[in-house]
């Protein structure tokens, strides 16, 4: 990490707070050992027994990226689970992403459910976010995914979501560095302020509904199976490539053309923030890369000028605005999410409540 981010400080040895935090969490969150395997086996056996009379054992997400694909691959190969995969199409899919999903679904014989977000609503919402000039521009895509997931789980009576989230490549994040995509009140307020059409079909999950379903009733348990394996993203990618003819589309989270724009152009331009730092730091924490190798990799520019111009043209055209308008939106002064109505107090109360309840147990 470097000190370009507020909230990141360094100790005397030069280690930053987020890496120290990740290292401290490592033994509690990642079990790349035989013990991890045993834990995973017993969890999955329990799920199988519990879900025996349901149409599926688990729900997974498929974005077309490596992590979620590896979850599908591993769960089918090692456990023959009955899997329902969900894919949310926000209108930004790359060809590589849809091809990867197709390859997996066909070869593993997994049932897929796609939720296609109405593009004219998605476009209006994303333009509203850009105009609002807030940090989490990926919130519309993420919110749509989890809302669709809860609906699907309800429809099929499912209880377990096994995600591709993993300590091995994602352990490092900046404290208070993001804004939760699940705050529907914030999403609606941003859209009310800057949107122009009604969101009639966009899948949202109200905050109370979310807290009720996710945190209190625990309708869905979200598990991270990759944390029970010696997961190595590069090795996983090679395995998927050899087994399925998986298509490698370059760096992380580029199954969506919007996310590519957000991470390679928007974040660096507005916050001087290069998201690779988090990813590479995580690989250092997990022992899959040395600090020198990471620094070497950071020397490669995030994108080239030509590529950035192409991506901006693409995003502008897709959103129905000019490139100069998009550039103007990128340079707007940063506005905190809290400037819009939100439910952060509710989340904090819930967290405090859970801490109190948790400590009494």
Contacting residues toward another protein, per CB under 8 A:
87, 89, 91-95, 98-99, 101-102, 105-106, 110-114, 116, 118-120, 318
Closest by CA position to 175, among listed 356, 9, 340: 9
Positive or negative, the Cα torsion across 280, 281, 287, 289? positive
Between 167 and 261, name the residue whose CB sits nearer to another protein.
261
Q: Which residue lies nearer to another protein by CB, 88 or 283? A: 88
Least distance (Å) between residue 201 CB and another protein: 9
What is the closest distance, in whole angstroms, from the C-beta atom of residue 107 to another protein in the complex?
11
Which residues have a Cβ under 8 Å from the Cβ of 35 and sit 6 or more positions away? none
CA distance 55 to 83: 9
Cβ-proximal residues to 351 (8 Å cutoff; 6+ apart), any chain: none
CA 351 to chain CA mean position, Å: 21
Closest CB to another protein among residues 113, 339: 113
Of 240, 244, 247, give the one whose Cα is nearest residue 106. 244
Give the nearest distance from C-beta 210 to another protein in angstroms. 25
CB burial string 298-323: b at 16+ within 10 A, e below:
eeeebbeeeebeebbebbbebbebee
- Complex with another protein: residue 10 or 156, whichever CB lies closer: 156
CB of 325 to another protein, least distance (A): 18
In terms of CB distance, is 1 or 88 closer to another protein? 88
Q: What DSSP line would sit under 266-317, residue for residue?
A: IHHHHH---THHHHHHHHHHTTSS-HHHHHHHHHS-SS-HHHHHHHHHHHHH
Nearer of residues 39 and 54 to another protein, judged by Cβ: 54
Give the nearest distance from C-beta 86 to another protein in angstroms: 9
Work out how close the CB of 245 gets to another protein at its nearest, in angstroms, rounded to a whole number: 9
**CA 249 to CA 268: how far, in whole Å?**
21
Tell the smallest beta-carbon distance from residue 113 to another protein (Å): 5
Q: How far, in whole angstroms, is CA 251 from its chain's centroid?
A: 14
- Closer residue to another protein (CB): 204 or 342: 204
Q: Which residues pair with 113 in a beta bridge?
A: 86
């Amino acid at each position: 990490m470097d000190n370009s981010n507020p909230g990141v400080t360094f100790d005397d040895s030069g280690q930053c707070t987020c890496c120290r935090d990740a290292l401290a969490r490592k033994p509690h969150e990642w079990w790349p050992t035989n013990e991890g395997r045993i834990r995973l086996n017993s969890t999955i056996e329990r799920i199988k027994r519990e879900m025996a009379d349901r149409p599926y054992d688990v729900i997974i997400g498929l974005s077309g990226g490596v992590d979620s694909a590896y979850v599908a691959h591993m769960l089918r190969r090692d456990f023959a689970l009955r899997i329902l995969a969900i894919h949310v199409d926000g209108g930004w899919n790359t060809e590589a992403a849809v091809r990867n999903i197709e390859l997996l679904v066909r070869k593993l014989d997994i049932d897929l459910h796609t939720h296609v977000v109405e593009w004219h609503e998605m476009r209006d919402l994303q333009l509203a976010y850009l105009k609002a000039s807030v940090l989490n521009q990926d919130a519309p895509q993420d919110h749509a995914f989890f809302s669709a997931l809860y609906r699907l789980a309800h429809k099929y009576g499912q209880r377990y979501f096994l995600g591709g989230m993993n300590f091995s490549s994602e352990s490092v994040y900046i404290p208070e560095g993001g804004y939760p995509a699940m705050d529907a009140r914030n999403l609606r307020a941003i859209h009310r302020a800057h949107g122009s059409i009604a969101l009639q079909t966009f899948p949202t999950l109200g905050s109370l509904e979310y807290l009720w379903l996710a945190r209190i009733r625990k309708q869905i348990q979200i598990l991270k199976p990759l944390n029970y394996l010696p997961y190595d993203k590069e090795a996983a990618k090679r395995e998927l490539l050899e087994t399925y003819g998986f298509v490698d589309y370059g760096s992380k989270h580029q199954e969506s053309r919007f996310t590519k724009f957000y991470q390679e152009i928007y974040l660096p331009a507005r916050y001087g923030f290069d998201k690779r730092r988090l990813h590479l730091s995580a690989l250092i924490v997990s022992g899959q890369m040395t600090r020198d190798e990471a620094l070497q990799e950071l020397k490669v520019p995030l994108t080239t000028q030509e590529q950035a111009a192409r991506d901006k043209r693409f995003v502008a055209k897709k959103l129905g605005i000019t490139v100069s308008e998009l550039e103007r939106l990128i340079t707007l002064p940063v506005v905190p999410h809290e400037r819009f109505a939100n439910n952060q107090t509710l989340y904090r109360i819930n967290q405090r409540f859970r801490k109190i309840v948790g400590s009494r147990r």
